[in-house]
C-alpha cells in the first residue's frame, strides 16, 4: 500500500536503529505526546529495540484519557435525568468510567447512546430523529476539531434544531508547556504528534525550543516514521540543538492546514480546560463562540457540573503526566486490565496502559 | 402469501404460521425429514462418533456484500462441525423474527440458507419460528444447530499440537469484519470488500482425506486470527510465533483498517480456517488447500514453539517481536 508499506520496511528499520545505537550513550528522556505514537511504539516493539540510554515516556496524548471525570459525570447525570435525548459519541468514550458510571453502563440501562464514526454521523441521527434532541459528545485534540466545526456549520446551514454539541476539545501545545512548567519531569525532547501538527503547523512548537530549549520532531505514525523521528531527536540532543524539525513532511507543514484553522476559528474560541490527572490548564481548550450558542449543549440543557472525583487509587493521572510508566502502577495487570479497567488509560485504544498491556504485558508481569 | 410483512400472527401457531411454514420453509428446505412437520425429526445415523454444535446469528445488517444472515447461519454451523473433522449432515433452524420485516426479505434469506446447505449436502430437518413485537428484536435472529458424522477414527484437537508444528491459514484475514462494518456505517471504499462467508466442509474434506498430518483446525470468527491463535496456544500450552509479513490480508481490507484504526488480525472471518499441521506435512497441506477455490490464498504463517507457554508472539513487519494478545472488548474506531 502506497505511503504505508514504504514505512514498514524491515531493512530500513534496522538501518535507522543502527544509527540510533551508534549516535551516543547519553542518557535522555523523550516524551511521545500522542497516544497513536505510544501505540505504534508498542505495536512494533520499538521500545525494546532502542539502546538503554533512551527512555521513552508517554504523554497526555489520548483524548479519551484526558477527559476529566467531571466531564464524564456531567453527561452521565444528564443521561439519568433526560428522556428524549440521544447521546452520540466516539468509540472508546463509551467505556471510560466516571466516578460511579460510564456511558456504556447507561446504555445498558436503556439510555439511547450511540457510537458514531464522525461528527456528521451525529447530524444524520438528528435528521432521522426529529422528535428527539441529539447531543454530540465530542472529545479530541486539534485533529478532530475541524470536522466538529464543519458539522456545526452544516447544522446551521440546514436549520437543524435538534442538534447540539458538548465539545470538550483540548489543545496540545499548552499541555506540553504545563508539563514542563510543573517541574515534575526532566524531559530532553518531544516526539510531536503528526495529525495534530498537520492542522496547527510545526510553528506551534517554536516556544518549546526557544523558551525551554526542548527539541521537537514532528513524526508520522508508521514504525519508520517514529524511528526516524527518534533518530532526529537524538541527533539534535547530541549536537546540543533545540529546533523544530518535521519528519512527517508528506503530511505536515510549518504553517499547518490554514483552511482547517479558519474553520476552527470561525466556530470556536480558546478557553481554559480541565484535564484528567493534570487539572486546569489555562487556554488549553475550545468552546463554541457566542453566535453558535444555540448549538452548545451545556447552555441549551443547563448541564450541571459533574463531580471531579477520580476513582480511588487510580494512578492514571501520573501516567498521563509521564511521572510513572504503567508497569509502576500497583493496579497494572492485576486489578486493572482492559477487561476490568480501573482508569481511562487502560480503557482507551490509545491509552498508555492499554498499549503497554496489549503489546507487552508478559514482559512486565511474567517470567516467560 | 398475501401479506407483505411478517405479522405477529405469523408466530401465533395458527393459520398464518402454517402458511409461512408451508409456503416458505418447506418449499426452500424440502426434504423427507422436514415435510411430515412432526415435532421432531427422526433419522438413522450409522456412525459411532457424532459431532453436535449450535450457534446463534444476530448480525446487523442482515444483508451485506458477499452474503446475508441466512447464509451466515448455515456456514457458521457447517464450519463448526467441519473443523472437528465431522461431515455435516443435518441442521436445525430457528427463526426469531421481528414483526414488520418484509416477507420477501425473509424469503431471500431462507432461499440463501437452502442454497448454502445444498452446496455441502446438508439437510435442514427441523426448525421453529417465533415472531416478536416490533422494536423487540433486530429484524431477524437465527439459531442453527448441526449434527455431523465423523467417518474415521481421527481426532483434531489443540491437545495434539506439538512444538515444531506449522500454522497455516486458508486465505486472507478480516474480509467479513470489514465488509459488515463498511456496509453498516455506509463507508464506501474504492474497491468494496465482500464477506468471505462460505461453507468450508469441502475444503476440510480435501485436506483431511489427503493428509494425516493435521493436528487441529479452527475457524477464526469473532475475535479473528489473534484471539483464535491465543485460544489454541492456551489449550495446547505451547507458544506460537507468527510473522506479520506472511499473513494474507487483502489490500482493500488493510486500507479500510488503516482508515478506521482497526487491526485485521482481530477482525471476524466467516470462511477461513486456521490449521495446525505437523512440520513434515505442512507444505503438502498448503498445496492441497491452494487447489481448492476456498483455499486459493492459503499461507504458512508461523510455527508452534515451546515457550512462551500459552502465548502468541508476532514478528512485526520491521522485525521486532511482540505479544499478540486476545481481543479485549470490541474494536472501535480511533478518535485521532
Tell whether the model's pLDDT for residue A45 goes beyond 70.
yes
Note which residues in 299-318 of chain A have CB less than 8 A from chain B. Answer: none
- Interchain pair B322, A360: CB under 8 A: yes
Chains A, B: CB contacts within 8 A come to 107
Helix A35-43 / helix A223-239 crossing angle, nearest 10 deg? 110
Residue with the larger pLDDT of the pair A134 and B152: A134
How many residues in total does chain A contain? 368
- Interchain pair A8, B328: CB under 8 A: no
Residue A7, min C-alpha distance to chain B (Å): 9
Exposure of B294 in the CB half-sphere (CA atoms within 13 A): 22
Structure confidence at residue B330 (pLDDT): 65
Residue A37, min C-alpha distance to chain B (Å): 11
Residue in A44, A64, A227 nearest the CB of B335:
A64
Name chain B contacts of A223, Cβ cutoff 8 Å. Answer: 316-318
- Interchain pair A45, B321: CB under 8 A: yes
- Interchain pair B322, A44: CB under 8 A: yes
Residue A9, min C-alpha distance to chain B (Å): 6
Name chain B contacts of A92, Cβ cutoff 8 Å. Answer: 332, 335
Least confident of A7-16, B87-96, B207-216: A7-16
Per-residue pLDDT band at B183 (split at 50, 70, 90): confident
The mean pLDDT value for A88-103 works out to 86
Tell whether the model's pLDDT for residue A362 goes beyond 70.
no
**How many angstroms separate the CA atoms of B315 and A182, rounded?**
39
Cell of B198: 462460505
Going edge to edge, which strands form the sheet with A244-246? Answer: A54-58, A28-32, A189-193, A216-219, A244-246
**Residue A289, Cβ neighbours under 10 Å: how many?**
15
Query: What are the pLDDT digits (tens) for B28-39?
Result: 999 999 999 889
Q: DSSP code of A339? A: S
Query: What are the pLDDT digits (tens) for B118-141?
Result: 999 999 999 999 999 999 999 999
Query: What are the pLDDT digits (tens) for B47-104?
Result: 889 999 999 999 989 999 999 999 999 999 999 999 999 999 999 999 999 999 999 9
- Interchain pair A13, B318: CB under 8 A: yes
Contact A328, A55 (CB under 8 A): no
Is residue B307 within 8 angstroms of chain A, CB to CB? yes
Please state the separation of Cα A152 from the chain's center in Å.
22
pTM score, two decimals? 0.83
- Interchain pair B320, A195: CB under 8 A: no
∠ CA A147-A148-A154 to the nearest 5 degrees?
A: 85
Residue B7, min C-alpha distance to chain A (Å): 25
- Interchain pair A91, B332: CB under 8 A: yes
Cell of A312: 480511588
- Interchain pair A44, B321: CB under 8 A: no
Per-residue pLDDT band at A303 (split at 50, 70, 90): confident
Name chain B contacts of A368, Cβ cutoff 8 Å. Answer: 307-309, 311
Name chain A contacts of B333, Cβ cutoff 8 Å. Answer: 90-91, 115, 117
Query: What are the pLDDT digits (tens) for A309-332?
Result: 777 788 898 999 889 989 899 889
Tell whether the model's pLDDT for residue B332 goes beyond 70.
no
How many residues in total does chain B contain? 336
Amino acid at each position: 500500500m502506497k505511503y504505508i508499506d514504504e514505512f514498514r520496511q524491515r531493512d530500513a528499520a534496522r538501518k535507522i536503529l543502527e544509527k540510533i545505537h551508534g549516535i551516543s550513550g547519553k542518557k535522555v528522556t523523550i516524551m511521545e505526546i500522542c497516544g497513536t505514537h505510544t501505540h505504534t511504539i508498542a505495536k512494533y516493539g520499538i521500545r525494546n529495540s532502542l539502546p538503554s540510554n533512551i527512555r521513552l515516556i508517554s504523554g497526555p496524548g489520548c483524548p479519551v484519557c484526558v477527559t476529566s471525570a467531571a466531564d464524564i459525570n456531567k453527561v452521565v447525570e444528564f443521561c439519568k435525568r433526560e428522556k428524549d435525548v440521544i447521546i452520540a459519541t466516539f468509540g472508546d468514550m463509551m467505556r471510560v468510567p466516571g466516578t460511579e458510571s460510564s456511558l456504556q453502563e447507561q446504555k445498558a440501562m436503556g439510555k439511547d447512546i450511540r457510537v458514531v464514526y464522525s461528527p456528521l454521523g451525529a447530524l444524520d441521527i438528528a435528521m432521522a430523529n426529529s422528535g428527539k434532541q441529539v447531543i454530540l459528545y465530542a472529545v479530541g485534540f486539534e485533529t478532530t476539531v475541524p470536522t466538529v466545526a464543519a458539522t456545526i456549520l452544516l447544522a446551521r446551514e440546514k436549520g437543524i434544531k435538534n442538534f447540539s454539541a458538548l465539545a470538550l476539545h483540548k489543545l496540545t501545545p499548552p499541555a506540553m508547556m504545563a508539563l514542563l512548567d510543573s517541574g515534575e519531569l526532566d524531559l530532553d525532547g518531544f516526539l510531536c504528534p503528526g495529525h495534530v501538527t498537520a492542522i496547527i503547523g510545526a510553528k506551534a512548537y517554536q516556544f518549546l525550543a526557544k523558551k525551554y530549549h526542548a527539541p521537537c520532531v514532528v513524526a508520522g505514525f508508521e514504525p519508520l516514521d517514529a524511528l526516524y523521528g527518534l533518530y532526529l531527536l537524538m541527533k539534535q540532543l547530541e549536537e546540543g540543538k533545540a529546533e523544530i524539525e518535521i519528519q512527517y513532511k508528506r503530511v505536515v507543514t510549518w504553517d499547518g492546514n490554514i483552511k482547517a484553522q479558519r474553520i476552527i476559528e470561525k466556530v470556536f474560541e480558546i478557553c481554559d480546560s480541565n484535564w484528567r490527572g493534570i487539572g486546569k490548564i489555562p487556554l488549553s481548550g475550545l468552546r463554541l463562540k457566542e453566535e453558535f450558542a444555540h448549538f452548545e449543549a451545556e447552555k441549551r440543557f443547563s448541564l450541571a457540573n459533574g463531580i471531579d472525583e477520580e476513582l480511588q487509587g487510580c494512578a492514571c493521572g501520573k501516567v498521563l503526566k509521564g511521572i510513572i510508566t504503567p508497569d509502576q502502577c500497583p493496579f497494572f495487570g492485576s486489578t486493572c486490565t482492559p477487561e476490568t479497567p480501573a482508569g481511562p488509560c487502560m480503557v482507551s485504544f490509545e491509552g498508555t496502559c492499554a498499549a503497554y498491556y496489549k503489546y507487552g504485558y508478559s514482559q512486565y508481569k511474567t517470567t516467560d | 402469501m398475501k401479506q407483505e410483512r411478517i405479522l405477529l400472527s405469523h408466530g401465533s401457531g395458527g393459520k398464518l404460521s402454517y402458511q409461512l411454514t408451508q409456503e416458505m420453509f418447506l418449499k426452500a428446505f424440502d426434504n423427507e425429514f422436514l415435510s411430515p412437520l412432526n415435532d421432531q425429526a427422526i433419522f438413522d445415523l450409522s456412525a459411532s462418533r457424532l459431532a453436535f454444535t449450535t450457534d446463534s446469528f444476530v448480525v446487523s445488517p442482515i444483508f451485506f456484500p458477499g452474503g446475508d444472515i441466512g447464509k451466515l447461519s448455515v456456514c457458521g454451523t457447517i464450519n463448526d462441525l467441519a473443523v472437528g473433522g465431522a461431515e455435516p449432515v443435518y441442521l436445525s433452524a430457528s427463526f426469531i423474527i421481528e414483526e414488520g420485516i418484509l416477507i420477501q426479505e425473509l424469503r431471500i434469506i431462507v432461499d440463501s440458507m437452502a442454497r448454502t446447505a445444498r452446496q455441502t449436502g446438508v439437510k435442514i430437518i427441523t426448525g421453529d419460528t417465533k415472531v416478536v413485537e416490533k422494536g423487540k428484536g433486530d429484524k431477524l435472529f437465527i439459531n442453527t444447530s448441526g449434527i455431523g458424522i465423523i467417518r474415521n477414527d481421527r481426532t483434531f484437537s489443540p491437545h495434539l499440537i506439538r512444538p515444531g508444528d506449522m500454522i497455516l491459514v486458508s486465505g486472507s484475514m478480516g474480509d467479513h469484519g470489514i465488509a459488515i462494518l463498511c456496509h453498516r456505517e455506509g463507508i464506501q471504499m474504492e474497491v468494496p470488500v465482500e464477506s468471505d462467508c462460505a461453507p468450508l466442509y469441502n475444503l476440510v474434506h480435501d485436506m483431511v482425506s489427503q493428509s494425516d498430518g493435521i493436528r487441529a483446525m479452527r475457524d477464526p470468527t469473532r475475535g479473528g486470527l489473534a484471539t483464535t491463535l491465543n485460544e489454541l496456544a492456551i489449550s495446547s500450552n505451547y507458544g506460537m510465533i507468527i510473522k506479520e509479513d506472511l499473513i494474507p490480508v487483502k489490500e482493500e481490507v488493510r486500507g479500510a483498517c488503516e482508515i478506521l484504526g482497526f487491526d485485521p488480525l482481530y477482525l471476524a472471518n466467516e470462511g477461513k480456517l486456521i490449521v495446525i499441521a505437523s512440520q513434515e506435512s505442512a507444505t503438502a497441506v498448503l498445496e492441497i488447500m491452494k487447489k481448492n477455490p476456498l483455499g486459493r490464498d492459503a499461507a504458512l504463517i508461523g510455527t508452534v514453539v515451546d515457550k512462551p507457554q500459552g502465548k502468541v508472539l508476532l514478528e512485526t513487519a520491521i522485525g521486532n517481536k511482540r505479544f499478540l494478545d486476545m481481543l479485549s472488548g470490541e474494536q472501535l474506531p480511533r478518535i485521532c
